[in-house]
Amino acid sequence: MNFEALKREAQQRAAAQREELARELAERQAKKAESQREADRRQEEKKKWLARERQKAEEARHKNQETKLLEERQKLKMERAEKAAMEKVRGKKPSKAPALQKAKEHAAEKRAQLSKSQDLTLTREEKRQKRMAKDMGLAFRKPTLRPESKSATARSPAEISNAGTSTASATARRKTARELFLEQEAQKKKKQSLREMSSGASASEEEDQDDFLDDDDDHYDGAPYDTHNPLRDEIWSLFGKKRAQYMARDVESDDDMEADAMHVQEEERRAALYAQREDQREERALLEAKRRKLQGSGAKP
């Protein structure tokens, strides 16, 4: 066999294998799709079954509630019937519901009032007054309207329109040149009078100030003011001091502010003594430290 024949056989076998593989894949896909459809169908059936079960449970619950309500109603009816029979045996009349009886009485009273009243067209305020009168136990009388005076009556639309047009025409009229000139002159005169009044007031204030200063100069004769106050002396005496002696001192003199040669020498001698004592103290401290150090070194083996 030549190479070409072998090649064709190999190609045929490969094609057959590919076809077999494709067929197997198709079968697998079909099986998978079938299994998926079966699972979906089972899921749908399960959902439907659960829905039916829930509906059945709900219906059963409703039936139970209805049966309970019916039983309670029957029980109440039986109790009422027994109670009515017992009251009938005792000779008592069956009592009706008090709320229903009260509502019926109120409706009857209202119908009687409506039939007796002649005029039913009442305003809100009149209705309120009527309720108040009823609560107070008084008879309600509808108030009669008094005729309004001519001055209090409203004006007619024609009068209002005429008045509006007259005011509008009065306000819309322009001023003449003469009126404008007179207004300007009046404003100028007013400004001038205000200016004169302000200048006159300032001049009068200056004159008053000069007179006041002249009066002060006349009263002042050059003598110092008397600053002695006996009340201050009394206050100082309360603390055991004399204010007159304190004020008589010459506190502005500088005689005691300067130091003479004797004071300077005394200060220098005192400073030297303090320095010598400090040096001696430090020297003794150094000697004591050396001695302790030597004693410590000699004591060691």
| Sign, Cα dihedral of 66, 70, 73, 79 | negative
pLDDT at residue number 168: 46
Tokens of 195: 């200016």
List phi, psi (to 5°) of 137: 80, 30
pLDDT reading at 154 higher than 50: no
Class of residue 233 by CB neighbours under 10 A (exposed 0-12, middle 13-18, buried 19+):
middle
How confident is the model over 146-167, as a mean pLDDT?
50
pLDDT reading at 17 higher than 50: yes
Share of the chain above pLDDT 90, in %: 16
Amino acid at 23: R
- Pick the residue with more confidence: 114 or 34? 34
pLDDT reading at 4 higher than 50: yes
Considering only the C-alpha atoms of the chain, give the largest distance between any 2 of them, rounded to a whole number of Å: 164
pTM above 0.75, yes or no: no
> How would residue 76 be classed by pLDDT, with cut points 50, 70 and 90?
confident
Report for 100-109, 164-173, 227-236, 271-280: range of highest mean pLDDT: 271-280
DSSP class per residue in 208-267: HHHHHHHHHHHH--SPPP----HHHHHHHHHTT--HHHHHHS-TT--GGGS--HHHHHHH
Amino acid at 17: Q
Class of residue 98 by CB neighbours under 10 A (exposed 0-12, middle 13-18, buried 19+):
exposed
How confident is the model over 18-34, as a mean pLDDT?
91
C-alpha dist (Å) from residue 1 to 8, 10, 14, 51, 225: 11, 13, 19, 73, 159
pLDDT reading at 1 higher than 50: yes
State how far Cα 292 lies from the chain centre.
Answer: 81
Tokens of 29: 């896909």
Contact 116, 122 (CB under 8 A): no
> How would residue 222 be classed by pLDDT, with cut points 50, 70 and 90?
very low
CB neighbourhood size of 284 (10 A): 10
Give the single-character DSSP code of 196. Answer: H
